[in-house]
Structure 1
Amino acid sequence: MNIKSFLNLVEIRTKVASVIPFLLGTFYALYRFDTFNVKNAIIMFSSMIIFDMTTTAINNYMDYAKAIKKEGYGYETHNAIVSHNLNPKIVRVTIFTMLIIAAALGLLLVKNTNIIVLLIGAISFVIGITYSFGPIPISRTPFGEIFSGLTMGFIITFLTIYIHVFDTGILNISFNDLSNINISFNIIELANIFLISLSPIMGISNIMLANNICDIDEDIVNKRYTLPIYIGKENALKLFKWLYYIGFISIVIGVITKSLPIISLVTLLVLKFVQGNIDKFNKLQTKKDTFILAVKNCVITNLVYALTILGGVIIQLLFNN
């Protein structure tokens, strides 16, 4: 396996879906809490990217291993194991190696913070692995969009914020003994974090939804009963549209509640671009031609969104000085 085939196996081009929630969480920690832990940020970013690559490699491996129809639908080109003629044994070793590295970095992050990171990180690992692996992988059920959106859009954003503010009382668990567990949390701040995470949650969910809409025919043959198969293509396309709208509405609410800087309203300017891509996707749904539109919508919307929060940080610094 060379570098090119490895990067295709882990679909490195899609890792931006993890990077953007990380940037969002980092900028929000600076804006809301005026704090930044460099060491924790580096460890978190490394573990996150490696684990994201691991889950993608698992997904490609399981698609390869479980495929019933192995011709047509672009199978010969869009699965890296097939297109690069990769040895399945080497792919498995690569997956386990990345998983061990990501877990080790995660444990190091726990050492620097507290048990909350361990618990949420463990949940993320379980979801990430069972998303593509096991008797009934999540990606082959109607729940793929929900789990991918919440895991990458909310959990990454939350953890990125939490590693900077873990000692401020946002969320804590303490054990006096095995029968006495104390949980304390700041419901306002947790609600704010969920609210500001809605835009990436919706954007990432729509990447999975667009993928499943494009693959309806192939998924039926390969017995992957995804959400579009359950609700039908027409309803899936309506959902695709409204998930974006919910993301934009959440930003407006965030500004109104002062969770976000007023400059975040600049993100609404992207709506015209997003609407154009929604219209194009409604006309044609294929992996080759229009799936990329969902990725572009997520990246551009949430990158602009994250940068507006950074703009809020800069404005704070200028006015404080």
Structure 2
Amino acid sequence: MRIDSFLKLVEIKTKIASMVPLMLGTVYAIYRFNVFNAKNFLLVFISLLCFDMVTTALNNYFDYKRAAKKEGYNYEQHNAIVRDKLGEPRVITVILLLLGIAVLFGVLLYINTNIIVLLVGIMSFGVGIAYSFGPLPISRMPLGEVFSGFFMGFVITFLAVFVHIYDRDIVSLTLEGQLLFLRLNIVEVLFILAFSIPAVCGIANIMLANNICDIEDDMENRRYTLPIYIGKEKALWLFEALYYITFVDIILLCVFRVIPFISLLALIVLIPVKKNINLFRKKQTKKDTFEFAVKNFLTICGAQLVLLLVSSISSLINLF
């Protein structure tokens, strides 16, 4: 398989959606807990990247297998299996190799941390596979935005924080006699959840924009996504509302001093974000306007990341 075919199969450009929450969680751990574990960061990075490629390749493979409409941009150009005439055995081999690497590094990460990482990893792997595989995959239901937003936005961010502070008991699972105890530092977990909201909403909107652009094709291919259930107009309203939620969240995070007040400067990016929203509202196609959802995600989370990184410079100097 040629490199360009592989990169198209796994849609390498979309991997930024999982890498951004990883970086956000890492910088959050440095800022709030003054800690950075290089080995754990490398392990989670490799495992996450490979598994993200697995889920994308699986999704493209099953879209190819289940497609009822076998012409048009989404089938002939967007899917690498069709565009580059990739043989099914080769595609399956690539998927299994990537999965093996993801599992291997995930196990190494568990060995280097604790049972919470293993349980979160198993749950994430299960959802990732169920997203495309099975008689009723998540991607063909009106739940894709919820699952992708929660797992890629919050779970990845949480895991990115946790691998650095696994020994500080913000979440712990212990067996005492015949009793199993799950202990949570509720405040810290809620803070991480609130911190991840921009990533959650941004990733959910990438999925939502994708499904809005594909309404007609999805109906022909029997993919009953959220925009098909609620209608295009309500889906566009939801698309816009999720961005405004992220800005309200950033303000509240600053008010409660979860992140520094300098993070309020992120509100400036509302200007280009609003412009992109308006452009997407005028026209919704995968080829022409889908990219605005990706740009908004990178703009908001990029501003959040840079501003938190600036506030963490003194911690970084001490750590390195």
TM-score of the two chains, using structure 1 as the length reference: 0.97
Which SS does the other structure have where 1:117 is aligned?
helix
Q: Aligned partner of 2:294: which letter?
A: V
Q: Distance in 1 between matches of 2:80 and 2:317?
A: 49
User: Aligned residue for 1:223?
Assistant: 222
Q: Which amino acid in the other structure matches residue 60 of structure 1?
A: N
Contact preservation (8 Å) 1:64, 1:81: yes
Mapped partners of 2:152, 2:140: distance in 1: 18
Partner residue, 1:291: 290
SS of residue in 2 equivalent to 1:162: helix
Give RMSD over aligned pairs: 1.3
Task: Trace 1:1-321 onto structure 2 (pairs within 5 A).
Answer: 1-177=1-177, 179-314=178-313
Q: Residue deviations 1:101-142, cap 9 Å, x none?
A: 101100100000000000011010001111011101101000
Secondary structure of the structure 1 residue equivalent to 2:182: strand
For the residues of structure 1 that align with 2:315 and 2:60, how far apart are their CA atoms? 45
Work out the number of aligned pairs and report it: 318
Contact 1:40-1:164 within 8 A present in 2 as well: yes
Contact 1:73 1:218 in 2 (8 A): no
| 1:258 match: secondary structure | coil
My pick for the range that moved more, 37-46 or 303-312, is 303-312
Deviation at 1:74, TM superposition (A): 3.8
User: Could you list the runs of 4 or more consecutive aligned residues of structure 1 that deviate by over 3 angstroms after TM superposition?
Assistant: 315-319
Are 2:30 and 2:316, in contact at CA under 8 Å, matched by a contact in 1? no
SS in 2 for 1:126: helix
Structure 1: which amino acid aligns with 2:159?
L
Change (3 A) 1:175 1:235: same
Please report how far the alpha carbon of residue 312 of structure 1 lies from its aligned counterpart in structure 2 after TM superposition. 1.4
Separation in 2, partners of 1:74, 1:122: 31
Shift of 1:316: 6.1
TM-score, normalising length: structure 2: 0.97
Cα displacement (A) at 1:270: 0.6
For residues 317 and 120 of structure 1, the distance between their equivalents in structure 2, rounded to whole angstroms, comes to: 28
Q: Report % sequence identity.
A: 52
| Structure 2 letter corresponding to 1:265 | L
- Displacement of 1:152 in angstroms is 0.6
Q: Deviations over 1:142-201 (max 9, x none)?
A: 000000001110011000000000111100001124x31011111110010000000000
User: Aligned partners of 2:289 and 2:313: how far apart in 1?
Assistant: 37
Task: For 1:123 and 1:247, locate their aligned partners in 2 and report how far apart those are by CA, in whole Å.
Answer: 26
For 1:317 and 1:154, locate their aligned partners in 2 and report how far apart those are by CA, in whole Å.
Answer: 24
- TM-superposed CA distance for 1:69, in Å, is 1.1
**How far apart are the structure 1 equivalents of 2:316 and 2:68?**
58
Cα deviation for residue 301 of structure 1 reads 1.1
**1:47 alignment partner AA:** S
Q: CA deviation at 1:73?
A: 4.4
Higher mean C-alpha deviation, range 190-199 or range 307-316: 307-316
Aligned-partner residue type, residue 199 of structure 1? P
CA contact (8 A) 2:30 2:315 kept: no
Letter in 1 for 2:203: I
SS in 1 for 2:269: helix
Letter of the structure 1 residue corresponding to residue 166 of structure 2: F
How much does 1:72 deviate? 2.4
For structure 2, list consecutive stretches of 5 or more residues without a partner in the other structure: none
For 2:20, what is the secondary structure of its paired residue?
A: helix
Q: 1:49, 1:74 → 2: CA distance?
A: 24
SS at match of 1:142: coil
- SS state of the match for residue 285, structure 2? coil
Secondary structure of the residue that 1:131 maps to in structure 2? Answer: helix
Letter in 2 for 1:36: F
